[in-house]
Amino acid sequence: MPCLYCGKVTWQFKSVVRAGAGKYCERACYILSMKEAGLAPRLRPRHKTESEIRQGRERASVKGIWRGMLDRCSRRSNPRWKDYGGRGITVCSRWQESFESFVADMGSRPPAHQIDRIDNDGNYEPTNCRWVTAEVKANNTRRNKLLTAFGETKTLAEWARSIGVSPRTIGSRLRSGWSLERTLRDPISSRHSRAAKRLTTSSESIREGGDSAA
């Protein structure tokens, strides 16, 4: 059969084109023939390279991050709504409108990084967002706001660990209006005797540390 473009006769036509497969001897003949007819060639997509596949996956995962961000700020039934939309965290209109703008502003995501708001009470917008590791992010969450006492600054979780009580105990004392110093010094009820013993021992060392720092 002769090629419809160049007339070359071949037995085996290359199946390089989706439309008109088997009628042209080469991809180039098909493209040129379409061009001359003023038509757009419909080409079968070529195989993706490794790096294109990686880029595609990366783009999909960044898109998932983008969608998640929009969802927890806008959909009341999102399980995390109360920490986001529910407390007034919004996504800037530029990012709401376009995933491409989000990608352009955030830049490429380093491996295993997540989106983080620098100011945890601030919104999702270019000046308040960055890519961070899970570890950095965990230290920047609202729950882990930094607390200073006895000349030392730690997260609530770190204070709790260092004096051997649950973070919940510290949190509930702070919420009921105790100062952080009193919260950390005051022995906890004798019901929790083991924890109380740990607290006494370590709160003394904290007090010493505090005195020497003062």
Instruction: Give the interface with Zn ion as residue ranges (CB under 5 A).
Output: 3, 5-6, 8, 25, 29
In whole angstroms, how close is the CB of 30 to Zn ion at the nearest point?
Answer: 8
Handedness of CA 101, 102, 103, 105 (dihedral sign): positive
Q: Which of 145, 95, 92, 136 has its CA nearest to residue 113?
A: 136
Q: Minimal distance in Å, beta carbon 12 to Zn ion?
A: 13
Rank residues 5 and 159 by Cβ distance to Zn ion and give the closer one.
5
Q: Which is nearer to Zn ion, 30 or 102 (CB)?
A: 30
CB of 45 to Zn ion, least distance (A): 22
Q: Which is nearer to Zn ion, 22 or 187 (CB)?
A: 22
Minimum distance from CB of 20 to Zn ion (Å)? 11
- List C-alpha distances in Å: 212 to 140, 179, 207, 208: 29, 20, 9, 6
Q: Which is nearer to Zn ion, 6 or 157 (by Cβ)?
A: 6
Which residues does residue 43 pair with via DSSP β-bridges, in sequence order? 17
Cα(158)–Cα(167) distance, integer angstroms:
9
CB-based contact 183:173 (threshold 8 Å): yes
Contact by Cβ (8 Å): 174, 180 = yes
Residue 27 or 161: the one with the smaller Cβ distance to Zn ion is 27
118 and 126 Cβ atoms separated by less than 8 Å: no
Least distance CB 131 / Zn ion (angstroms): 50
